[in-house]
Structures are given as C-alpha cells and as structure tokens.
Structure 1
Amino acid sequence: MTTTEETHTATCSCGSFRLTVQGPPERVYACACLECQKATGSAFSYRARYSKRAVTVDEGDRRRFRRINSAGKWMDQVFCPSCGTIIYMDAEVIEDKIVVSVGCFGEPDFRAPASVYWSRRRHDWYQPDADITLIE
C-alpha cells in the first residue's frame, strides 16, 4: 500500500459513528494536559491530525462539547451521543484540520506519537521512549 492509498476508519464503541480518512496523518501525538486526561478518562490522549480534505466518510449522529482554551479559542470534542466515544477534535486554531482519537481506529500497530504535549502533566509512571519529543 502506498501512502496515498493509506486508509483508516475510526468508529465509536457502539458502531453508529464512523469516520474514514485517506492518506497518512500529518502528525501523531499524545497530550497529557488535564483537559485531555478528563476527556479520555486516561493519563493522556493519543491522536492523529489530518486535513479535513482527507475525510472520505463521515457518518452517524454526533454531539459536540465545546470548551474555550486559555487563549480564548474554542476547541470541540466530537463524540457519539449513544456511547460517548470521542471520535475526533476540532479547534479554532486548526480550522482546516481534525484530530482523530487513534484508539478509535482499532489498529494496535498504528504509528507511535512523535511528541507528548503538556509533558509536565504526565503521570509519573509514563516514561515515553527517548525518540518521543516532550513538549511543555
């Protein structure tokens, strides 16, 4: 498979919301900020950023939870209203991009994150590999 043929489909837990993207992600990262910890119920989020033009399928009901960041910009968590799974994030500062929750792809061999944002907030037990950039 060439990179232009690379396709990934993210689904929610109940299967009623589906998003397919074509091509490789522009960036894969983890974020350990407190908002991502609360949104995922875990120690960090693990996401892949794509251009909105990469989306080839976007089906199913969804809801948005909007929050305003410290710079006054909006950020939406887009989730299934039936099971609550966050499929992707949309943000004012990256209006032409979406950031998909990697776990929704169901691909254990998906590429590792290149960086961890808000690394000072990560849990002590989480020590990323040396090749992952830690960003405060």
Structure 2
Amino acid sequence: MAGLFTAKPSRRERDAARERLAKDRAEKIVGNLCAVTRLALEEGRILTTLAYEGTFRATIRSELCLQGWSWQAADDTAQDVVAVVFSILQVKRPDWYEGQPDWTIKRGTLIERTRCANCGHALPEGHTKFCSTPCRRVHGLRLM
C-alpha cells in the first residue's frame, strides 16, 4: 500500500532525469542573465558583455550538476544558455588580433609600445618591448 502514493517528481527532478531544461525555466534564466549583464554594463562594473561568460557558464553548470545532471549535459546546456544570452545582447566576439597582448589596428600593424612589458616603466630610446635586460629575462622566466 505504501508504494501507491509516491510523490510526483518536481520540475527540476524531471529536467535532471531527461537532462534538458524546461522552456519556461530556460527563458527565465536567459532573461535574468541578460538583465544582470545590462545592469553591470550601465553601472560600469564590467567593460564588455563577455565579462561574465565564464561565471555564467560555471554557475549554471554547477547548479545543474547539483540537481543530478551529468557534467557533460550540464556543461552543454550552460553553453547553450550563454550563447542565447549573447545572441539576444548582440555580442560580437573580437577577432584573434584584438585578443592579443600587442593589440593591432590592422593585421600586421602593431601599435607602438611606450611602456616596458614587464615593469611598466617608460621605454628608453631604441628599446621596443623591455626597458632593460633584467626585465626581459624576468619576463621570459615567468612565461616558463
């Protein structure tokens, strides 16, 4: 007799069992993430709409895993949700050149460096990246 009256699984339990978000739940998450990103941009807490990408993805994935989702399904879903948010916000990813430390305006045209890449002091005449040999060496050792 005890088995006849089992509790109905919650929406989150059903989502976890099939590893798929319900449409209304996904829309609510997307709406909240869009609102958070817009507000942070307006308040100057972030400089780019891409700033929270990793945080959003990790948070969604973590919550889904805690609800019983497999890691891979949770990660795929989190990636899809973040992609929808960026689509709504019309986010344009920078190209490869824009992501490099030596930012370029056009392919192959480097912006002139005026500060040492290691310590930030002004570059002496004739130096293009480091102010001294010790700065060059220290920078190289840090990369190893």
TM-score, normalised by the number of residues in structure 1:
0.25
Structure with a larger share of its residues in strand: 1
Larger C-alpha radius of gyration, 1 or 2? 2
Relative contact order, CA 8 A, sep 6+: which one is greater? 1
TM-score, normalised by the number of residues in structure 2:
0.24
Structure with a larger share of its residues in helix: 2
